[in-house]
Amino acid sequence: MKINRHQKEEFITGINLNFHPYSILMSLSIIGLSILFIAITVAYIYNRVQVQSLEPVHVPKAFLFNTLVLLASSFSLLKAKQYYQDDNTELYQRSLLITLLLSIAFLVLQLFAWYSLFIMNIGFAHSNLASYLYILSGLHFLHVIAGLPFLILFYRTSLIKMKEPVSVLIYFSDPYKKLKLKLLTLYWHFLDILWVYLVLFLSINEWIK
């Protein structure tokens, strides 16, 4: 009877990694954040319906460009996961670095997007709908920041421990590192989906008069 890689990892660790506390915590976090953002967008719609004189805030073009940047960072992290599975040290490290740089670029561009709103005198207190835009994008901004330390740790660890053939072998054969990388990739994909949802939601509301 053939045993696949996942079964081998379970045999080595004695734990089903799908039910590892990290996996459960990530699932609960994603569910909780999804409910939070859906609730805020529903409140946004409720405000528009109740006060129809409110004009939706123009979505900065930087928001649209940032979507491409975030998607690119998620793609490079997905490639890092693939290179990890292929035991390709150089491309794994490079993909992690690209993901890190793109994520920082996303944060910087987001600051410019908010600045462009301030220039147009659209601050947090401009209107209820403007405050919702800042709350939604600000919460997403904070969750990208929350993921950066883990991304930095992965990259730093790869530089320290992936220098000699033996250390590289140990690094790539560690099922817990594979689990953490899988969860980090899942989290980044979730941030992608969340950001696309927010940009589409705000853009559609801008078009609907």
Query: What is the pLDDT, as a whole number, of residue 120?
Result: 85
Which residues form the domain of 54? 5-207
Torsion of CA 40, 44, 46, 48, to 10 degrees: 180
Residue range 109-158, pLDDT digits in tens: 999 999 988 888 887 777 788 888 999 999 999 999 999 999 999 899 88
- Range 44-48 average pLDDT: 86
Q: Summarize the confidence of residues 37-50 as an average pLDDT.
A: 89
pLDDT of residue 18: 63
With a cut of 50, say whether residue 2 has pLDDT above it. no
Asked if the model's pLDDT at residue 5 lies above 50, the reply is no
CATH number at residue 57: 1.20.120.80
What pLDDT, on a 0 to 100 scale, did the predictor assign at position 17? 57
Burial class (CB in 10 A: 0-12, 13-18, 19+), 66: buried
In the DSSP assignment, the letter for residue 168 is H
The total of structural domains in the chain comes to 1
pLDDT for the residue 16:
55
Amino acid at 142: L
C-alpha distances (whole Å) from 64 to each of 48, 106, 135, 136, 163 are: 23, 11, 17, 15, 40
Q: What pTM was computed for the model?
A: 0.84
Give the C-alpha separation, 154 to 37, whole Å: 28
